[in-house]
Amino acid sequence: MKPVATNQLVNLVGKYLYNHIDGAYKAVRSSNTYDVYVRVYYQLPRLQQIPGKEAEGYNDMHEIIINISLTTYQNKIRVNIHEVTPEEWTFGYILVEPEKLQNVENSMKLIYEKVIQKIKKHYDGYLFLF
């Protein structure tokens, strides 16, 4: 596959993430950016659950929305991953260098795997679905 301009690659990767993450429900494309919104369900780890709080829903599944924002600059792709809350807590970012963007399919898979890895790292020990 021939090399693609990074702004086109941002759109391809954004569509790939939107189509491959089960909880993805909205995608917003603008100039040099692509935002994917993902609904993530999680449950507190067993050791953090409080006995007797079941009636209040404390130990139930909870939902958060995550924004995966892809942007391009200097032939690189930066992926910001943050929670859509008033605090806008950031899980982290991924910076993909130009030499890793030569193969479009590998770039999409690499970014997908790193996004999943960041989310799993943040929710280490939690039971989650997305």
**DSSP 8-class letter at 60:** S
6-65 residue pLDDT tens:
788 888 889 988 998 888 999 999 988 999 999 988 776 765 666 666 545 555 777 889
Give the residue carrying structure tokens 């193969």: 103
* Cα–Cα dist 45/107, whole Å: 33
| Comparison of pLDDT for 123 and 55, the residue scoring more | 123
Domains of the chain: 6-129 (3.40.1000)
119: CB partners within 8 A, 6+ apart: 40, 66, 81, 91, 128, 130
Amino acid (1-letter code) at residue 6: T
pLDDT at 1: 46
* Cα–Cα dist 1/26, whole Å: 28
Max intra-chain CA distance, the chain: 59
pTM of the shown model? 0.81
62-112 residue pLDDT tens:
788 999 999 988 888 899 999 898 878 888 898 888 677 677 777 778 888
* Cα–Cα dist 37/65, whole Å: 7
